[in-house]
Amino acid sequence: MKHWIPTLALTSMLILLGLSAPFPGMEIQAKTALIIFLICIVFWIFRPLPEYLSAFLGGVAFITVAGIPGEQVFSGFSTPVWWMGVLSMVLGITINDTGLGRRIVFMLLSLIGGTPLRILYSTTMVNNLLAPFIPTNTARGALLCGITDSLCDSLGYERGGKKGDHTIMLANMYINTTNTFMFLTAMEGNLLCVKIIAESTGRTITWMEWLCAGFVPGLPLLLIFPYLVNRMFPMQPPPAGISGAETARKKLRELGPMSRAEWSTAIIMGLTMLLWLTGDLHKLTASTSSFTLILLLLPGIGAVSWEKIQARFPWPAMIWLGFAIGMAGIIDRLHGFKWLVDRLVADSAFFQNIGFTPFLAIMIVAIVFMHIIFAGMNAMVMVIVPISIALAKQLNFDAAAVGLVASMATTGGAFFMPFNSAPNLIFYATGRYDVRQQLAGAVPLAFLICIALLLGLLFWWPFIGVIK
């Protein structure tokens, strides 16, 4: 009931606004579509209904109330971006089902685990390795949380004792919502960001271009976060008197040799990565997704059956993504986002006179720390990215670059409170750290994300041609 009250209150306000406000300069169809879209965002923020259901109802309202053609509303399901999401979801299921993800964790632990700090680096490194192939930090978080929770038990840490287990869990939780902005396929929100940028600016961002833009600001963060978490929450040596490497070698012996399914998945993962990295050369983004999907499902070659995919595939997430892509594109074509920004900055001397660097600094800090009040990043994407692009256009800044940095700030850093994202709740549910510790560690790490993104945009992006 508590979710329905604010949802209905804001929805009622938006409907009254739509019925009474003149919306000067906007046609009735655009006005109606914008109101419906804002109502969808309210539902995605408070989640009184599942996101996919409110997205579907929003799509129906676009067709029946706003009079938008159905092919436009459903257009998101035919885009290469959506199919890239499908491929990544199938890869993620395969990595989990074959046990390859667990084996990668234990292999790295056996090689570099040992001291407390090495345990942190080896476990967080796995999350980074899997990020390009599992396009939801919820799935990665669930996988890593289960493994690290079991690892804490094996090392002898008492649940809730906070003598080392809290360090392991916090480090992995922070990393799980930071590496999301480094890889285009690290979460479905990134795929939506790319589509919004393309619709709004005409600039297409490939998988490799996203990686080049996110690698320099992201890699230093991923390298320093485990060390900083260990400094803020010192990790005592394992009570059992054994190292992470010894525990990992024991787990690997229990797993036995790699199965055919694991080898097949590993090879297809490598091939997929190669095709994504060389996308600028072959220009076959959609074909790459189809080719890899066929390999994964092909009897005798692939490692997973269609029956298993159907049972495990996150259809709700992909339904939401398809409708969200379609609706966002419609609002942009109807100049809805531009209208909102015009109302915001038309009479604002502050915005009209602001320079590019101060604008970026304020925007990045505002977006990153806005995560504190949001439950989930998908709703933030729909609010922040289009408005940031429209604002950049109004101020004559590079709209594509502003949209990209807004995307990265939006899809990374949602780690302040447990409710900020589903993986946060998964890690918090282990009972190995408390809210005060999570927030205390999140604030300085969030400032580092802001600094890294700003410096990357100002000094690295012009060098690689992201800023034209």
**Using one digit for the tens of pLDDT, what is the confidence trace for 405-435?**
999 999 888 898 877 777 787 788 778 888 8
**pLDDT: which is higher, 71 or 308:** 71
pLDDT digits (tens, 9 = 90+) for 237-267: 776 555 667 777 888 888 888 888 888 888 8
Q: What per-residue confidence (pLDDT) applies to 244? A: 65
pLDDT exceeds 60 at position 34: yes
Q: What per-residue confidence (pLDDT) applies to 414? A: 86
Q: What per-residue confidence (pLDDT) applies to 384? A: 85
Total number of domains constituting the chain: 1
Query: What are the C-alpha distances in Å from 369 to residues 6, 272, 444, 445?
Result: 22, 34, 11, 11
pLDDT digits (tens, 9 = 90+) for 265-286: 888 877 776 776 665 565 555 5
Both tokens of 330, joined, read 């419609």
Q: What per-residue confidence (pLDDT) applies to 460? A: 93
Average pLDDT over residues 175-198: 88
User: pTM of the full predicted structure?
Assistant: 0.73
Q: What per-residue confidence (pLDDT) applies to 418? A: 79
Q: Out of 252-261, 288-297, 347-356, 369-378, give the one with best mean pLDDT.
A: 252-261
**pLDDT: which is higher, 153 or 213:** 213
Mean per-residue pLDDT over the chain, rounded: 81
For residue 288, give its domain range.
4-464
Q: What per-residue confidence (pLDDT) applies to 330? A: 87
pLDDT tier at 346 (50, 70, 90 boundaries)?
Answer: low
**pLDDT: which is higher, 451 or 111:** 451
Q: What per-residue confidence (pLDDT) applies to 307? A: 77
Average pLDDT over residues 104-122: 78
**pLDDT: which is higher, 283 or 57:** 57
pLDDT exceeds 90 at position 226: yes
Determine what percent of the chain is predicted with pLDDT higher than 70: 86
Q: What per-residue confidence (pLDDT) applies to 284? A: 56
Q: What per-residue confidence (pLDDT) applies to 189? A: 83
Amino acid at 464: I
Residue with tokens 């990992």: 248
**pLDDT: which is higher, 348 or 437:** 437
**In 3D, which of 416, 400, 395 has the Cα closest to residue 461?**
400
pLDDT exceeds 70 at position 48: yes
Q: What per-residue confidence (pLDDT) applies to 350? A: 66
